[in-house]
Amino acid sequence: MIVRILGEGQFRVDDIIADELNHLDTELETAVERGDEAAFSAALTGLLAQVHAQGSPLPPDILEPSDLILPHEDSSMDEVRKLLTDEGLIPG
Amino acid sequence: MLMKGTAARMGVMKRVSLVFKAKANKALDKMEDPRETLDYSYQRQLEMLTKVRRGVADVATSRKRLELQMNQLQQQSNKYDDQARKALGLGREDLAREALTRKATVQGQINDMSTQYAQLQGEEEKLTVASQRLQAKVDAFRTRKETIKATYTAAEAQTRINEAFSGISEEMGDVGMAIQRAEDKTAQMQARAGAIDELMASGALDDSIGGRRDDIQSELDMLSANSDVESELNRLRGELSAGAPKQLEGGSNGSQTGQPQTGQSQAPPTQYAPPPPQAPPYVPPVQDGQPTGLPVADVPQDGDVS
């Protein structure tokens, strides 16, 4: 599957680690819901590390949409919240 | 946890990707003819490329401005360092201390700015890479667009167009956000840089750093001027005592006769700015005609006058 990290580009990631990613992603989501800053940054850091370690960057001339999209490395919780509701964070 | 049934356990990553896809679909739905979509989208991509390149240039400009200011502050810091050295040389530890305190303040500002500088550099790099990535995708899209137009009927093309379109539109969204983030950071920094520029232009920067403008420098100047004055005085004293011993203290002490200029005038040189009382009594000798012995010493060639 293809994972995009915002601000970095796309990575092809083996489906085998999907479970691991989903686990961390659930933690991330819970953290955002609860407004738990520490859990948020731990989960986000973990997700980014996994994709960096397990994924291989996709050539830039590939025109495939991503299956999953990860927030920016330095995202605040507030930014992620806005991303989820699409409050104009994605231009055009 | 159960209260929100909507997309509660889908995960952030999936939800964000759906938001992006929804955005692309919305744009697609507006198009009547799929081929029109291709051309329209391509135009938007070219615009975005221009925008991201301008973004890179803007960040670079801000970074350079910051660099310039850091250099100016560094000069300021060096100046304080020099002053501290001079002050110590003149035995004024208090002044040296003050100069070093100001140097530390300026140095602190420079450190803050280095952090900002690194941030701007980071943004510049990210945007540069983003523009290269977008360029590659736009090129791929253009090729795909021509192929689709040449090979497929409008109906057949739809699926392929949708795929290419959502692929590029995701990239555009990503790049658009990167530009926005860089702009935000640049704007913050420009506001700060503008403030510092103004301070520098008005010469008030020294004020904000502490104390009046260049007061250390003027005090140092005064100290070295004083020592010049001191040596001049000594020279004059030497000349006078050679010719006219009596005249020196005559004005102020009046009644005291004899040898007034023993150690008195030599005592305060380091402490005080020496009062220059010697000059006035020296001027009127010719007019008064009172002290007979004096004029002789004055100038040797004066014999012709009157």
What's the rounded mean pLDDT across residues A40-53?
94
Give me the residue from A4, A21, A61 closest to B140, CB to CB.
Answer: A61
Query: In which residue are the tokens 């010493």 written?
Result: B297
Amino acid letter, B258? G
In 3D space, the residue among A55, A63, A77, A78 whose CA is nearest the CA of residue A8 turns out to be A55
Which of B1, B6, B16 best probes binding to A when mutated, by most A CB atoms within 10 angstroms? B16
- Give the integer Cα–Cα distance in Å for B131 and B142: 16
Q: Output the pLDDT for position B246.
A: 52
What's the rounded mean pLDDT across residues B153-180?
86
- Give the integer Cα–Cα distance in Å for A8 and A18: 20
Q: Output the pLDDT for position B203.
A: 61
Q: Looking at beta carbons, which residues of chain A come within 8 Å of B21?
A: 65
B202 or B183, which is more confident: B183
Amino acid letter, A18? A
pLDDT band at A91 (very low <50, low <70, confident <90, very high): low
- Give the integer Cα–Cα distance in Å for A15 and A9: 18
| Interchain CB contacts (distance < 8 Å): A and B | 113
What's the rounded mean pLDDT across residues B30-42?
81
What's the rounded mean pLDDT across residues B129-146?
94
pLDDT band at B244 (very low <50, low <70, confident <90, very high): low
B122 or B265, which is more confident: B122
In 3D space, the residue among B7, B31, B24 whose CA is nearest the CA of residue A65 turns out to be B24
Residue B117 tokens, joined: 């500088």
Distance from CA of B168 to the nearest CA of A (A): 6
Residue of chain B minimizing CA distance to A5: B174
- Give the integer Cα–Cα distance in Å for B281 and A3: 95
Q: Output the pLDDT for position B298.
A: 47
pLDDT at B251 over 50: no
Give me the residue from B14, B167, B177 closest to A90, CB to CB.
Answer: B177
Q: Output the pLDDT for position B284.
A: 47
Amino acid letter, B2? L
pLDDT at B167 over 80: yes
Cβ neighbourhood burial of A22 (10 Å; 0-12, 13-18, 19+): middle
Contact B177 A4 (CB under 8 A): no
- Give the integer Cα–Cα distance in Å for B252 and B277: 9
Report the percent of chain A where pLDDT is more than 90: 71
pLDDT at B171 over 90: yes
pLDDT at B302 over 50: no
Of these ranges, B113-122, B235-244, B248-257, B265-274, the one predicted with the greatest mean pLDDT is B113-122
pLDDT band at B260 (very low <50, low <70, confident <90, very high): very low
Q: What is the mean pLDDT of chain B?
A: 77
Q: Output the pLDDT for position B61.
A: 92
Tens of pLDDT, residue by residue over A6-26, are: 999 999 999 888 888 999 999
Torsion of CA B93, B98, B100, B104, to 10 degrees: 160
pLDDT at B300 over 70: no
Query: Phi-psi region for residue A35, left (φ > 0), alpha (ψ -120 to 50) or beta?
Result: left
Tens of pLDDT, residue by residue over A67-89, are: 999 999 889 999 898 888 865 55
- Give the integer Cα–Cα distance in Å for B3 and B223: 79
Q: Output the pLDDT for position B299.
A: 45
pLDDT band at A4 (very low <50, low <70, confident <90, very high): very high
pLDDT band at A5 (very low <50, low <70, confident <90, very high): very high
Distance from CA of B11 to the nearest CA of A (A): 5
Residue B146 tokens, joined: 């021509």
